[in-house]
Structure 1
Amino acid sequence: MKIDISKTKDVFAAYSQLDFSDIKKRYRDPATKYAFDVLERKILAGYHIQLACFRHVRDLQKQNTEDLPFFYDINSVARLLKFAEMCPEAESKQPVDLMDWQKFVLSMLIGWRGSNDNQKRFSRSIISIARHNGKTYLMAIVLCYSFLIESIGRNNLQFLVSSIDAKQSAQLMGYVKETLSTLFSAKTLRNLKNPFYKHNEKIGIDLKGLSSQSDKIIAKKTQNRIIRITFNSGSYDGFHFTTAIGDEFGSPDANDKKKLNSITSGQTMGVKSPQFIRISTAYEDPNVEFHQTEMAVLETIERDYQRDPDYYNYLVLDWAQDNDDETYKAETWAKSNPLINLPGFKESFLQSIEKERSASLVTASINSFKNKSMNLWTQTNDNSYLTLDDIESAIIDDFDIDGKDVYVGFDGSIGGDNSAIAFVYPYQENGEDKFHIEQYSWIPWHDNGSIEAKERADGLAYRELAKKGVCEVEPDPGVIDYESIFKWINAYIDDHQLNVLFFGIDNAAKG
């Protein structure tokens, strides 16, 4: 059956068309149960998490095939969840029961494996959620598990703790140290014998060092080490990280593609089961690689019938509100703040969020509230005419332009600027006047020296956008070629038999 959610945006309808009874019988682990509970509306979740849950249960149907050479290993999941039960929460310094959504996060990261090599499937992961929902706590569990369990019998492994600034990276490193310290010093956990009691002596970790401000944790007997590096001031060159955690990597300050690539390229150098996990809330600028990757992965999940293999190794778990209107609907806030459903916590958590919203309205910083508390991407300016929601909700994929009336505008570039053409098609729908708009660009890079430098300077992945058919990168020597552009325009108009009502052109192009 052809499943295409990209047009309907209705995950529940797609789910109802398929028979998952066999999967329900075979998989009773917490993550799969959570996925089914979301898809059967027993748990409130936003559209992006609905997609993630749909992907999981669909992949369970397709696993171990030529089209999907991965499988879900419930034994790996069980081991990680057992370990997580012993890890202390930061404030109480005691182990706590994980919620269903938290188990889903951990299970997706660790459970999916390669059919041929048993290595972790999701080498690149994005986990996005509103603040104060325990992202850092979960990542400390993941990193400590990798450091203590997955490294058994292996030496000279490197693990990364990173964030956009020293303060944020120190917080995650502090969580990791607290977790290790408790595991090594507590004789019992949950009234059971602690298997990690004094384990530090076996691997050569100094307990005193865990209480210091050091930016390294070194197991002297294995030379396995956890390293803290700040994104803005550090370098990842020369490292080969087994597990790398990037905190608040959705920030525009963490949008340096060269640095991001240095992490992942280092992981390809013979590292077994590498994982680069980026966690973040939303930010005002949606034109960052973090958000672009989010959307690209979610789009390929929507097109279930033609999944893009380039994204098989990417995981996106995004707890977010579905639109701006939900900023004022407290009954929906569990979409971006799943910790609301923690027993005994709901009322105080809701009151805290409501106070933050009121303060943001008074200080005219509602966008920041939407970013951090609703996990909604907005735009760079609170006074922008169109919001990101407005733009995304207006996108349609199946508008037929052939034979239509059209207004055309061409913006020619000077020097290193892009050239672009816009087509505006007037039409009526149900008696209402509307306009369909399309745009295409030509990208010069000569003044920047290379297309890579041009992409870094503009903060846009032009080569990826070219694959999507919205632009083209000028060939060597990277300068605008007006003759080829006008040939393209004439061919486009002729091919689609457009009736041009107006053609506007700027002075630069005329020159």
Structure 2
Amino acid sequence: MIKQFLIDYSLDVMDGEVIACQKHKWACQRFLRDIEREGTDDFPFIFDEEKALLFFQWMNLFQHTKGVLVGQKIEPHEIQYFVFGNIYGWVHRDTGYRRFKKAYWQVGRKNAKSQSLSCVASYESMAFGENMSEVYCAATKKDQAKIVWKETKAMLDGCPELKGKYKVAYGEIVHPKSQSIIKPLSKQDGKTGDGLNPQCGIIDEYHAHETDEIYEVIDSGMVARAQPLLMIITTAGSNLNSPCYRSEYDYVARLLDPDHEETENEEYFAMVNELDKDEEGNLIDDIKDESVWIKANPIACSYPEGIKNIRSKLVEALEKPEKMSKFLTKNMNVWVNYGATSYMPVNKWKSCSIILPTTDVRQFPCYVGMDLSLTTDITSTGGVHPLGEDTFFVWQHSFIPEAKLAERMKTDKVPYDIWIERGWLEVTPGEVVDYSFVEAYLKRIRDDGYNILEIDYDKWNATHLAQTLANDGFEMVEIPQSIKHLSEPTKTFRDRVYQNKIIHAADHMLAWAIGNAVTRKDAQENIMLDKKKSKNRIDPIAAVINAFARAMLQEDNRSVYEKRGPRTL
């Protein structure tokens, strides 16, 4: 029954009846090839129907612990039948020992990874038949290692058929009859692997491992076991130097590829569900085409709520570019490098523009940001006026050395001359920006009625000017140029733009800078503008962000009364 199902399923995949990526097709092709040579001298493995069925009978004991199916009995999806039918069905014809000692399944988020691993953990410790089995749910961090362990416990706790047949003590799930255990294991525990004798090692989200230390702890401890299983389930990641990509993904890609006959390992099972790429690594599939999502999400795309969740993630990734790499790795299951991404679509910025301010902004307080950059390049100031109700009016005024103007117009290919006429850009004499003109400009607008509360500056190359401006009576506030300090204002500014709560007077130079701006992101999804990777100069928006960092903070700290102003009777 299981064997015939897998044959029919594989044929449907190969014929296109089941939408699948290339590596998925290769896995099915590999299975069909193995069926043809089953039990031969060159391939001494046979498919044991009873052993495959036993795992799924075990899986059927449990209930869904979360999601729309919570409380219902688990009915394995066809991709689970294929993966675990292979893992548990194939055995050696002479010994009866299982064929696959290692298994790798890469699939998108919300495709029952933890549920599948939990069934494996409990099966290996309580039903597979090995005494004193040691099953380890392994990760680099304790919290990650406990995810599968907690899911296993929750599934056991919800299974009346297994009541009284296990106990939990000292962080272990114990099966007294076989003296087997299930235990979380992490690098943070400081384990060296000494004394471990794993029957089964489960590695969840291997892409997040910076080293193969935990992998080796499990793998090296299995040498005394007759039929161990090292099970890896992961999404793709963004570190191409990780052991998951460098060692496992690259290896299984060659293992599955029928054109790589030199890479053969009869004891390693592999399945990869992802969007397809060409030979250069560029996506062939369109991420906006919902019909291809099932390639990476065979389970999540089998019910409406799963598709709806992916759809919402895509909308967010398109709106917030730094979310795109996470969408690609977690939802489309494709490996990407962390890279610079556009800060925001220019059309979003333009939708906030007005030809002229509808009111005199001088009646509102002003925060002025400074980005001095190199003295031979553009230096910018940026103003932010809180208007109330989380709305801000912003502007910029930049400076360029006269001797560099013609060169910059040629290399940057923008109409600096027109921007000078419009008053967005000011020329200073000589080869470098004369900072005395910056000082004079700030004093001039102050004298013209601008209520400048403070000047917010990047201290790089600004020590002397900052002191000069302080002597002129300006309140000077240094803005640390770190991703930790700039992430929140950079994100919040963009959010306010999307909400049409940033107003500007259609300054083309500022729009140009925003169009140039890209961000860099750390592992915690903090972002900041990245000058090195931006397409061209971003000094005007960098100055505005410096000012907004303080304007946003000060607005948040104002009392409700201050924000509303006094009531009139």
Q: Does 2:117 correspond to 1:163?
A: no
Change over 3 Å in CA distance of 1:130–1:150 after alignment to 2: same
Deviations 1:458-477 (A, max 9, x none): xxxxxxxxxxxxxxxxxxxx
Distance in 1 between the 2:220 and 2:46 partners? 25
Give, in angstroms, the shift of residue 36 of structure 1. 1.6
Instruction: State the SS of the aligned residue for 2:199.
Output: strand
Identity of aligned residues (%): 20
The amino acid across from 1:281 in the alignment is T
CA contact (8 A) 2:173 2:183 kept: yes
User: What is the rounded CA distance, in whole Å, between the counterparts of 2:162 and 2:234 in structure 1?
Assistant: 33
Per-residue deviation, 1:39 = 1.0
- Aligned pair partner of 1:312 in 266, 273, 286: 266
- The residue that corresponds to 1:338 in the other structure is 298
- Is contact 1:124-1:315 (8 Å) kept? yes
For residue 246 of structure 1, report the CA deviation from its aligned partner. Answer: 0.7
Q: 1:376 maps to which residue?
A: 334
Following superposition, the deviation at residue 383 of structure 1 comes to: 5.5
Task: Give the CA deviation at 1:232.
Answer: 4.4
Q: What SS does structure 2 have at the residue aligned with 1:246?
A: strand
**Counterpart pick for 1:225 among 178, 181, 188:** 181
Counterpart residue type for residue 172 of structure 1: V
Q: Following TM superposition, by how much is the alpha carbon of 1:43 offset from its aligned partner in structure 2, in angstroms? A: 0.7
CA–CA separation in structure 2 for the residues paired with 1:117 and 1:340: 38
Is the contact made by 1:51 and 1:298 (CA closer than 8 Å) also made in structure 2?
no
Gaps of 5+ in 1: 1-25, 187-195, 385-511
Assess, with a 3 A threshold, how the Cα gap between structure 1 residues 307 and 37 changes in structure 2: closer, same or farther: farther
TM-score normalised to the size of structure 2? 0.55
Secondary structure class of the residue paired with 1:225: strand
Q: Within 2, Cα distance between the matches of 1:160 and 1:28? A: 29
2:318 corresponds to: 361
Task: Say whether the 8 Å CA contact 1:326–1:333 is kept in structure 2.
Answer: no
Instruction: Answer yes or no: is the 8 Å Cα contact 2:203–2:231 preserved in 1.
Output: yes
Q: Which amino acid aligns with 2:42?
A: D
Contact 2:138/2:184, CA 8 A, preserved across alignment: yes
Query: Contact 2:2–2:52 (CA<8 Å) still a contact in 1?
Result: no
Aligned match of 1:95 in 48, 57, 73?
73
Residue correspondence of structure 1 range 126-137 to structure 2 within 5 A: 126-137=104-115
Find the aligned partners of 2:187 and 2:72 in 1 and give their Cα distance.
31
C-alpha distance 279-95 of structure 1, shift in aligned 2 (>3 A):
same
* Distance of 1:328 and 1:305 partners within structure 2: 32
**Structure 1 residue aligned with 2:414:** none
2:232 matched to 1:281? Answer: no
Note the C-alpha offset of 1:80.
Answer: 1.2
Instruction: Give distance in 1, aligned partners of 2:117 and 2:149.
Output: 10
Runs of 4+ in structure 1 off by over 6 angstroms are none
Larger radius of gyration: 2
C-alpha contact (below 8 Å) 2:125/2:175 kept by paired residues:
no
**Is contact 1:250–1:279 with CA below 8 Å preserved after alignment?**
no
Equivalence for 1:256: 211
Alpha-carbon displacement from aligned partner over 1:373-407 (angstroms, at most 9, x marks no partner): 100001132469xxxxxxxxxxxxxxxxxxxxxxx
2:38 alignment counterpart: 63
Whole-Å separation in 1 of the counterparts to 2:309 and 2:2: 37
Checking the alignment, whether the CA contact within 8 Å between 2:3 and 2:49 is kept in structure 1 is no
**Equivalent position amino acid for 1:336 in 2:** A
How far residue 103 of structure 1 moved from its aligned partner, in angstroms, is 1.1
State how many pairs are aligned.
330
Task: Provide Cα deviations, 1:237-261, integer angstroms capped at 9, x if missing partner.
Answer: 321111111111122xx24234322
TM-score w.r.t. length of structure 1? 0.60
On the 8 A contact 1:29/1:74 being kept in 2, the answer is no
User: Shift of the alpha carbon at 1:56?
Assistant: 0.6
Separation in 2, partners of 1:114, 1:326: 42
1:290-309 matched pairs, under 5 angstroms: 290-291=244-245, 292-303=247-258, 306=261, 308-309=263-264
CA offsets 1:260-309 (integer angstroms, 9 cap, x no match): 2221111012x131000011100012233322323323323323683534
Worse overlay, 361-370 or 43-52: 361-370
Match of 2:8 in 1: 33
Report the CA distance between 1:51 and its aligned residue. 0.7
Match of 1:146, SS? helix
The 5 A counterparts of 1:12-161 are 28-91=3-66, 92-151=70-129, 154-161=130-137
After TM superposition, give the deviation of residue 361 of structure 1 in Å: 2.7
